[in-house]
């Protein structure tokens, strides 16, 4: 099945529809659904006064679990549960790099925090502890250096902390529709920057 022909005008309605159709899916052994998790992450970002781009990153970091919706090209990665890379791949054409990089780095950020923040491991949910094993465990010293060299690593760490805190049942959140304007602003800013880059 070919993926839908997505553009900067259709990507946000596509994501809103995806959350509304698939958001009730379970979230890999967590006590919240996928959409509860993603909406709680966005709410924590807003509560910390994060800008639009990081709110979008918190909201979309796990979209790689749904890459089958974007067409067959993405399905293999989804099945292998390389949902970090798969999510980045579907976001990268439309969103600023910080958004797609926070998705790409959110598993790495967990492994980084497990290696560098002594209190972090205790904050992991049981399901997150289980997946840490498949994901390679805490980072080794050379991996830590490479991670810190990524210009988006600090943003990815912030998103990761909201990610871990977004697994609390019955937390009130806004609805995905309430984020449509914010998401479109973030997409439009990226498209405007691309256009001015081409003009110079």
Query: Rounded to the nearest whole angstrom, what is the least distance from the CB of residue 125 to Fe ion in the complex?
Result: 10
Residue 51 CA to residue 68 CA, distance in Å, equals: 29
Residue 37 · residue 167 · CB < 8 Å: yes
Q: Cβ-count burial of 92 within 10 angstroms (0-12 exposed, 13-18 middle, 19+ buried)? A: middle
Between the alpha carbon of residue 55 and those of residues 52, 117, 193, the distances in Å are 5, 23, 19
Closer residue to Fe ion (CB): 37 or 153: 37
**Residues 37-66, interacting with Fe ion (CB under 5 A):** 62
Query: Rounded to the nearest whole angstrom, what is the least distance from the CB of residue 61 to Fe ion in the complex?
Result: 6
Closer residue to Fe ion (CB): 33 or 189: 33
In Å, how far from its chain's centre is CA 145? 22
Query: Rounded to the nearest whole angstrom, what is the least distance from the CB of residue 60 to Fe ion in the complex?
Result: 10
Query: Rounded to the nearest whole angstrom, what is the least distance from the CB of residue 166 to Fe ion in the complex?
Result: 7
Specify the 3-state DSSP secondary structure of 47.
helix
163 binds Fe ion (CB under 5 A): yes
Closer residue to Fe ion (CB): 153 or 160: 160
69 binds Fe ion (CB under 5 A): no
Residues that bind Fe ion (CB under 5 A): 62, 163
């Amino acid at each position: 099945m070919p993926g839908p022909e997505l553009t900067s005008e259709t990507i946000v309605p596509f994501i809103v529809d995806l959350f509304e159709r698939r958001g009730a899916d379970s979230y890999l052994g967590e006590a919240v659904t996928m959409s509860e998790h993603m909406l709680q992450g966005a709410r924590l970002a807003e509560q910390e006064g994060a800008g639009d781009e990081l709110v979008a990153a918190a909201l979309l970091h796990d979209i790689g679990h749904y890459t089958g919706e974007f067409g067959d090209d993405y399905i293999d990665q989804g099945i292998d549960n390389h949902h970090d890379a798969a999510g980045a791949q579907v976001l990268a054409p439309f969103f600023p790099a910080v958004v797609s990089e926070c998705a790409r780095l959110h598993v790495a950020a967990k492994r980084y925090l497990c290696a560098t923040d002594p209190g972090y491991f205790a904050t992991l949910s049981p399901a997150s502890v289980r997946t840490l094993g498949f994901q390679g465990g805490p980072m080794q010293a050379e991996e830590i250096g490479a991670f810190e060299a990524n210009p988006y690593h600090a943003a990815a760490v912030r998103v990761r902390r909201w990610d871990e805190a977004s697994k609390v049942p019955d937390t009130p959140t806004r609805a995905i529709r309430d984020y449509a304007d914010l998401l479109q602003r973030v997409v439009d800013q990226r498209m405007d920057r691309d256009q001015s880059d081409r003009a110079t």
